Amino acid sequence: MKRAMICGISGQDGAYLAKLLLNEGYEVIGTSRDAQMSSFHNLERLGIRHQITLESMALNDFRSVLQAITRYCPDEIYNLAGQSSVGLSFDQPVETLESISFGTLNLIEAIRFTAMPIKFYNACSSECFGNSVNEPADETTPFRPRSPYAVAKAAAFWEVSNYREAYGLFACSGILFNHESPLRPERFVTQKIVSAAYRISAGSSEKLHLGNMSIQRDWGWAPEYVMAMYLMLQQEQPDDYVIATGETHKLQDFVAETFACFHLDWSEHVVISQALMRPTDIMISKGNPQKAIQKLNWQAEYRLKDIVQMMALAYRA
């Protein structure tokens, strides 16, 4: 039985990945800064909480990381941990940099130090590309990060690349574009939109406050994207991959589709708020997943309308 360690198992991707790996016959170790105090609500929601061994591990503490890795000797490590909000990173830049770039460095350094044959996956982000104005971003597109979150993710990407080249580690980065699900917390705009539309449809008189609705994003379905993570570590050679649908839509399209699911006219319930505008924002984000399609045999099946409907359905259930 293979053993996988998921750092950041309490989040959306960690929960879906844990379910996938359990279905593949893995023993799953999930880490969190305080496994005794965390609720692991997403694992409970997927019905897998008691099938997973949970371990406390502080990614910014090399000793803690080393102890966890030597205790469990995993075959694969998936690093999904760290501060995950682009907006929050402007308010907490130090925490963002430390949790993402330092945490990633501690993991790969521990793998190098122990010389264990561990395959390592690093969660990178499309935010690293900045604006994709002309061509969809692929693995050769230069990084131009426009937030502290993106800066931290870019640093972690190059750490992984360096350790792969310098020490021969089987280390990959998945450069994932936006991917959503009912497990998203409400600090993410997609879940904020769906939950507000649901409450308004149930009689709430509230208004939904949003920032720039003309931004364009490539939105995918999270359970599909964790399959791409898994496939990266099943290859003969480590490499980096862009994971995306290849389609972009305006935030306004997401809003309109969501409110339509609840039989509402979005224009009657949405207010544009200047307070929600970011200091720097990505206007257009679009990805080219051709390498993943060709080498991983992975391709996104669900598109914007499907994603909105599945997220809305979770509120009706």
**In this structure, what CATH number is given to the domain that contains residue 68?**
3.40.50.720
- Residue 167 covered by a domain: yes
Name the active-site residue from 149, 198, 230, 302.
149
Does 14 share its domain with 113? yes
Catalytic site residue 161? no
The pLDDT tens digits along the chain (317 residues) read: 999 999 999 999 999 999 999 999 999 999 988 877 778 999 999 999 999 999 999 999 999 999 999 999 999 999 999 887 888 888 899 999 999 999 999 999 999 999 999 999 999 999 999 988 778 999 999 999 999 999 999 999 999 999 999 999 999 999 999 999 999 988 899 999 999 999 999 999 999 999 999 999 999 999 999 999 999 999 999 999 999 999 999 999 999 999 999 999 999 999 998 877 777 788 899 999 999 999 999 999 999 999 999 999 998 76
Residue 273's domain is classified under what CATH number? 3.90.25.10
- Residue 196 covered by a domain: yes
DSSP the chain: --EEEEETTTSHHHHHHHHHHHHTT-EEEEEETTTTT---HHHHHTT-GGGSEEEE--TT-HHHHHHHHHHH--SEEEE--S---HHHHHH-HHHHHIIIIIHHHHHHHHHHHHT---EEEEEEEGGGG----SS-B-TTSPP---SHHHHHHHHHHHHHHHHHHHH--EEEEEEE--EE-TT--TTSHHHHHHHHHHHHHTT----EEES-TT-EE--EEHHHHHHHHHHHTTSSS---EEE--S--EEHHHHHHHHHHHTT--GGGTEEE-GGG--SS--SB--B--HHIIIII-------HHHHHHHHHHHHH-
Catalytic site residue 127? yes
Name the active-site residue from 64, 89, 125, 147.
125
Does 125 share its domain with 40? yes
Does 206 share its domain with 155? no
- pLDDT of res. 24: 98
Name the active-site residue from 55, 76, 127, 257.
127
- pLDDT of res. 317: 64
The pTM of this model reads 0.94
- Residue 18 covered by a domain: yes
Catalytic site residue 125? yes
Q: How many domains does the chain have?
A: 2
- pLDDT of res. 25: 98
- pLDDT of res. 277: 75
Does 61 share its domain with 130? yes
101 is in which domain, residue-wise? 3-179+220-243
Does 43 share its domain with 63? yes
Does 236 share its domain with 312? no
